[in-house]
Amino acid sequence: MFAVRQPTTVTIRCKTPRRLLLAIKNPSLSSKTRRNFFTTSPVFKMAVGESLVGKPNAWKQPGPAAYDFRSDVMTAPTESMLNAIINTTLLDDVFSEDTTTNDLESHIAQLSGHEAALLVMSGTMGNQVALRSHLTQPPHSVLCDIRGHIVNYEAGGVSALSNAMTIPIHPSNDHHITLEDVQKYAIVSDDVHACPTRVISLENTLDGTIMPLSEIKRIAEFARQHSIKLHLDGARIWEAVAAGAGSLSDFTTLFDSVSLCFSKGLGAPIGSIIVGSQSFINHARRIRKMIGGGTRQAGVISAAARVAVDETFGHGPNGEGGKLRASHARAREIAALWTSKGGNLAKPVETNMVWLDISREGLSQDQFAEIAASEGVNARGGRLVVHYQISDDAVDRLGRVMDKVRARSGTGTGTQTANGH
């Protein structure tokens, strides 16, 4: 006879999410107890954001994303994306057999005015695969904006993967690179001491500001004259289109390659795509495989990405019927709220980013983030990224954050002050 083991009740007491992991790692807990804890514990619900959501199903509610101004990468995938994933094809993309992925690539290629497209896992992978596909014979250098993603946030990929030197330049107008900037720093001579420029990599939007179409055309003409490839980090090019700066193809057809992101403002859970000529994409497919980017059942990625493009950007080349324009309007609303309280902006509001000049308030980024957290808002310094899931309540809370910032700096308590503050 075996004794029947009676169930035991284990009470887990922890006041903060930080102690949550310590509690659930307790070796004396049974798997059933752990399971019950995850489904019933108010601490766990708070840790995953249910205190803000009200419902545990993250696919139906934006959850903490509704209060998160750190970046538009914080957007949460939607229920329609989940439904698309459930109903997607499950075929092999390494062999180009997945119809959902093939359809997505064809759609983006057509939308951008290019011959072909290639799904990649991230914007970083998109940029690096594109650059590596262009840079086939050293020595070579890449000219880029000193603030750009490829030189600051891609772990040195240009040098490590492409054996290329980067030439970061500061825009002379403090807004965007101009043809004159490019002409000053591009290496086009036969001087054997120099590393010739083979790629000019631009970024649009950058810091939420739009690089004008007219300037890109000037740089593109220069690049063609000197047989230099032109790449666009277009992770947020959707935002420039939504702002009315030009259609998607107006921008993208000026470039030899473009990387576009699905998981920032568009809200897909994962994925980016690169576009270019058919021969370029054929070579890029090999590079993608080389660095581990080939996927098997890619439909689970492509299905959500297609929903993100159609629902968030819109169905046409100008973002018709999309949600991004509303984000821009909200960004302008937030900027106006800040300036009405006497605050200054560090950069103009052109798309979905608001740059509060917190240095003039005597605050560090960490101090601002701490004040924001006290009102239930997630922010990282004075850069506020407004995405389509930001809630009305989050904007109200942000207004209270601004009042606290102004009061702490001693320059006001939420009322208009003299110009210059």
Residue-wise pLDDT tens digits, 198-230: 999 999 999 999 999 999 999 999 999 999 999
- Closest by Cα among 205, 141, 149, 217 to 179: 217
How far apart are the C-alpha atoms of 124 and 266, rounded to whole Å?
17
Q: What is the mean pLDDT of residues 363-383?
A: 95
Per-residue pLDDT at 129 exceeds 70 = yes
The pTM of the full predicted model, rounded to 2 decimals, is 0.84
The pLDDT value recorded for residue 200 is 99
Residue % of the chain over a pLDDT of 70: 83
Please give the sequence-ordered ranges of beta strands (E in DSSP) within 249-404, or none if there are none. Answer: 257-261, 272-276, 353-355, 383-385
Q: What is the mean pLDDT of residues 59-70?
A: 91
What three-state secondary structure class fits 341?
A: coil
The pLDDT value recorded for residue 409 is 77
- Closest by Cα among 201, 246, 245 to 220: 201
Task: State the number of CA atoms in the 13 A half-sphere of 349 facing the CB.
Answer: 27
Model confidence at 411, pLDDT cuts 50, 70, 90, reads: low
Q: What is the mean pLDDT of residues 364-391?
A: 96
C-beta of residue 142 within 8 angstroms of C-beta of residue 165: yes
Written as six digits, the tokens of 218 are 């000037």
Per-residue pLDDT at 30 exceeds 60 = no
Instruction: Give the end-to-end CA distance of the chain in Å, rounded to a whole number.
Output: 82
| Residue recorded with tokens 């994409």 | 281
The pLDDT value recorded for residue 418 is 31
If you write DSSP's letter for every residue of 242-302 in order, what string do you get?
HTTS--HHHHHTTSSEEEEESSSTT--SS-EEEEE-HHHHHHHHHHHHHTT---SBTHHHH
How far apart are the C-alpha atoms of 231 and 196, rounded to whole Å?
16
How far apart are the C-alpha atoms of 359 and 382, rounded to whole Å?
9
Amino acid at 18: R
Is it true that 81-313 and 324-409 share their CATH fold? no
Residue ranges per structural domain of the chain:
81-313, 324-409
Helix and strand numbers, DSSP H then E, in the chain: 18, 9
Question: What is Dmax (Cα atoms) for the chain?
Answer: 91
The pLDDT value recorded for residue 271 is 98
What value does the mean pLDDT of the chain take? 88
141-180 burial, b at 16+ Cβ within 10 Å, e below that, comes to bbbbbeebbbbeebeebbeebbebbbbebeeeeebbbbbe
> CB within 8 A of 310, min separation 6: which ones?
none
Q: Superfamily for 324-409? A: Aspartate Aminotransferase, domain 1 (3.90.1150.10)
Quickly name the fold that domain 81-313 has. Aspartate Aminotransferase; domain 2 (3.40.640)
Model confidence at 57, pLDDT cuts 50, 70, 90, reads: low
Q: What is the mean pLDDT of residues 330-340?
A: 98
Per-residue pLDDT at 159 exceeds 70 = yes
The continuous run of DSSP H or E covering 169 comes out as strand 165-169
Written as six digits, the tokens of 95 are 């062999």
pLDDT, one tens digit per residue, over 15-25 is: 444 444 444 44
